[in-house]
Each structure stands twice: as C-alpha cells, then as structure tokens.
Structure 1
C-alpha cells in the first residue's frame, strides 16, 4: 500500500521503518526544513526497546543502558530503588537512555533515500472510499491508500479528521536540559529522581558524560518562565548533586515545556486514516512513557498492516481497538501521578527494593502491547 505519514518525529520515523520492512511504499512529510533535533534525553524503557527491535531499529549502540532507578525526597530520604537489570531479565528487553537527536538520527538513517520530504506543512485532508489526499501549504498534494497522523500534540491530521478540542494543560511544566557534566552521576548507570512537596527533579546519565536533567513545578499559562538563577534559589539545599548541577549550567542550556494531556478518543481516524503518538494521546511526562507509547503504537500498527487481504479501514479500526485500552491506561496513570505530586511526603513509605522492582515490571507490562504480544530476546549487556 501507499502510506502517507505526516510528521518526521519519533512516531513518524518509527512507523515508516516498520511499514517499509513489510513491503509498503511509505512517504513522510515534515513541515520543518530538516529533522528536528531539539529536546533533551529520552528514556526508552523495556517496552520501547522491544518495539524498536520489532521495527528493525537497534538503538543500544548509540544509547546508554540504565541499571537502576532510585527515588529520594528533597531531604534525601530514600523512597525506593528498582533494579533495572532484573526488569530487563523479566521483560526480555533493556532500558536505554538516549539523546532525542540520536534516536531521531538512528531511525532516519535506516530509511532509504526519497522517503523523507521536508518543508511540507499539511493543511488539509480529504478521504475517499479508496484513497486519501493530503494538501500542503505550498499548493502541492499527495495521494495514498492510507494516511497516518504522527504530527504531535497540535496534529493537523487529528483536527482535519476528528475535530474536537486540543490538548489541555495539566498545571505543571518542566525546565530541562542535556549537558556534558563532570558529576559522577553522569558517568554511571543510575537514574535519580527527587520528590519535593511542590517540585520534582530528575537526573539521568545519557552516555559519554552527558546528563539529562529536569525540574518539574506547578505552572499555568501566564506564569513566568524561570531562569537558571531562579532555579538555583528554589532548589537550594536539595540533595546532591542538584546544586552542583545548577551551578554548572546556564540559561542557554535550559529548555521549557508545559505539560499537556489529550482526551483519548474512541476512534482515531477516518476510513483511510489513523493517528499515533502525541497526535492521539499526548500525556504529561510523569511516568516517562510518552515516547515509549508512541513506539508501541508504531509497532502494533505495523503488525495490523502486515495483513494484506483485509479492508484497510477494518485494519485501522482493529489497531485502534486493540491499542486504545493500554494507551488510555498509561495516559490516566501519567495524569494521576502528576496530580498526586503535591501529596505530603510524610505519607510516602519506603518501598523495599524487590517490591519497587516488581512494581516497575508490572507497570511496564500493564501498559504494553509489545510485551504482551511479542517475545523479545535480551541482547548482551
């Protein structure tokens, strides 16, 4: 089939790799003039690495494997620590941290020439019984058998096909960066999460001395976007190495994004279209699953479109019906986790390591189609 993909982000590149591997003719149309390499790091959990492997993409050589996940309070009290090595053994696929730009580059490099088209902003979609037409801002158009909207939280495809309300803000925002660091944490394999009363912080080694760091705080439209100097004041006295990190970065290192959440619809497209990723289920980063759920979408949609003797509309609706329960579950968990971040920390009990590890395994399994339906094999560390 001729498949048109709108958006050359994580989802668009992932589904293109999957469908090309199944013999489909795929064209990706991106509104920007080049691949978008902004953003910091992405934690690709066991479900995400399994999905990528199923799509024919191996990011482990370019990524950094994580061995443990540790959470403490702003006073330094240990809440829990999960053994990600054991999670890998139980689920059959590792957790890898990778710069977003590297993930994009790895997936783009796997595509044959002529698949990517830049400077093509989608402005209209017209579906017919046996084909779909996409119109672009430059006056050109493209015709295909199927259309996949992978164009993010402000998806034009979603607006054109489904209408409805845009994603809503959650009342939180992140200040984050990806910087080279001499801090010991940057050269290890342990993620550190720090939970405060009104703020959260995370530090994740990303390989090669790079450290992905983020600060989450309550924020609503109209509130100021804080500077590094203001972050230093707010997070003074937090556990090591927060103050040392903030002393080493500048405003030029600082990225900012408000958290949002989409209502996940029952149906994700029309007779010749569907959606994946943030276009259909944008969610706050509280459980670090947004990119992983996008990869899950791409993997499952590839499986359904491997069937060649069924009506395309039936395949698209079957994909959505199969995928929606787990995408919705993860979206709700992310929203609930974000909302509960103001829970007084004295109510949070310490979890033993075995229970934290088991909880991590259960959480990843419950929100994953690829771990439920596939049997990925563990690669050597």
Structure 2
C-alpha cells in the first residue's frame, strides 16, 4: 500500500507566514530600539566627553593664572560675549568669555638695550609670534613702591632666530578690549621703557594669554546647521595674515553651547562673599579691562600711583583695600559649561536646561542658578545658537569651582633659573 503524501494547506501557509512576519517584525523592532538606544548612549557619552575636555582644558589654565603676573590683570571678565559682533560684543543671552594670563616657566632672556619700540636681547630667540606679551623686569628691583621696575609690552612683528624684538607702539587708549583681539592697554606699557636706565640691563619673560569663549560655525555643505565650539584665543597672529582677530583662535571642544562664569570675591569676617555674574552683572565697570581701573590707588612719590595690592596684606582688617571691588579679590571662578550633541534627534524634543528655579518663573533675573544669570528672554535672534533648550539636542551640564591661588602675588620677581628657552 502506498503511503499518502500530504502537503501544507493554503491556510497553514498563511498562518505560518503571519507568525514568521510577526517574529521578524519583533526582531526588527528590537534591533531598531537597541540601535536607537546605542545611538542615544553614544551621543550622551560624546557630549559628556566634550564637556569634560572643555572643563579640563580651562581648569588647567585658570589654576595657573596669575603666576608672575600682576593680580589686577590676571583675570578679565566678559559677560554675555557675542564673538561675531565686534561693534557690540556684550549682548544678553550669549555665553560668557574669560581671559587669564600667566608667566611662561621656560622662557627668559637678558636685555642689552630697551626703548619704547625695540628690545635687544643677548641671545637669539627661536620664535616669538606677533601679539606675544612680554614682561620686562629690572634687575635692581629695589623698593616697588617708589619706582616702576617692570613693564608689560606686546611684540609687533614675528621674531625668528633674532636678538631684536620690535614692540607694538599702539597707544594704550587705542588698544582693543576683547578676547578675540590683540592684548589690550594693560599690556602696552612700552612708554615706561624710555628714560629708565634699569631696563637696559633687564630681563624679559613671556606672558601666556588664554581667552576662552564660545562661537558657532556653519557646517560644510549644510548652511542651515551651525555647531558651537569652545574656542581659545592666545592674542597671537597664528595665521600670519598681519592682523590679530577671530581667525587666530583655535577650537578646544565641539558642541559647547554655553559657557557661564561667576566670580566669587573675598569677604571680610562673616560677610557673605559677593558673586559677580549671578546676583550682580559683570558688565559696565567689571567688563574686561575696565575692572582693573576699580583698584584703589595709593599715592607714592610726586608722580606715581601704586596699586595698594602691592603694599597691603590680603584680609588685613585695618587696611581692607584688597577687599575692594577688583579682580585682585577673586577667590574662585565658578565655571559652568553646557555640551550638546552634534546632530539633533528628530524623535527627541531636546533637553531643556532653562527650567525655572524653585519659586521663580522662566524669564526672571535668575532663571536657574546652575546657569548663573543666563536668560533666554529679550535676546537677539542669533543667540539661539547658544540657547540650551529644545531643538532635538541631547545636553549635559558640568560645573567646577576653581581657585587661582597665584592671584595673591604681591611683588614681581626675577626667575632664579640660569637659562631660558
């Protein structure tokens, strides 16, 4: 007897196909979900890495700020800085900018002769870029309260394997006051070199500048997509185009959407420390180099005005000049950065870091203390590149308080190293 051969019926095939389709659909959805989660986590990791990179880089420079530099020009504050508008740089809603200075540990040269437009040193210098800040120090330091024994000057032309350094002769009143330009009036003291014989046998050291700010750039091939970067400007003509401007800045970290800086000042006794940049704005008198003019001077000699931070002790209750409103009294810089993802996620609304502080409404003076005095109300349209809310972007916020201990310098000094670089 022949065995019967029975195949699949149409219904069985349909049911099997349906079950298989459901299984494949489930596998596909699981794969898509896992892929999306991986992308989300990868994006989160990337923005956290960018934030840490930005904070670490700034922290390293801020901690060394003030070494060998007069305290009144160690830190310059620029609140709400619009790097793309040099005519009106301070605009609400934009990130802050901060500039710090410190002495180079590896450079020193002896001076043969000095004048307001030229320095001649004893040994050739391999390289100095245009815009480099130099500190000229007299050897007979003497009494700092009676005579000027040091001067900050700026190099006007690139130096390569030469003993001659040409100085920028820009009048201090005409020097720029911006993080994206050449060093300002505080570093144009070249006039002090004329008629003072001590500078003919002096010593020069380099002063390094680091200006941090945030700027947005168009993505190549995508004119409607702009990516923010944390930038650093050293005040040097790095591209050697004859001008010192935004094109000489270098990117530090991608996706840094906001930089907010608060300045915690010293206080006397049990007085609550003042925090500029939160409860009080750093615009007006505190903006940039204007802050330096707030230091109370002390009359010494017939024609000299010596800042009191050279002669007074920090926290001296009888002579509290160092407790006045000046950058000399900065106890800490509180740095807050917001990092966002490189590309928006069309299925994500976008993280919102402008949540209202408890008891406050969005748009009040302090929307959220973690973002200091940043507000998104009443700002220019182009400030939207730096508004940390919506847009489909993932975001992370990172904060650190940094103490620039070198800011307590109370006298200039000549390095004890025997040779310079």
Same fold (TM over 0.5): no
TM-score by length of 2: 0.23
| Larger helix proportion of the pair | 1
Q: Who wins on radius of gyration, i.e. which is larger?
A: 2
TM-score by length of 1: 0.24
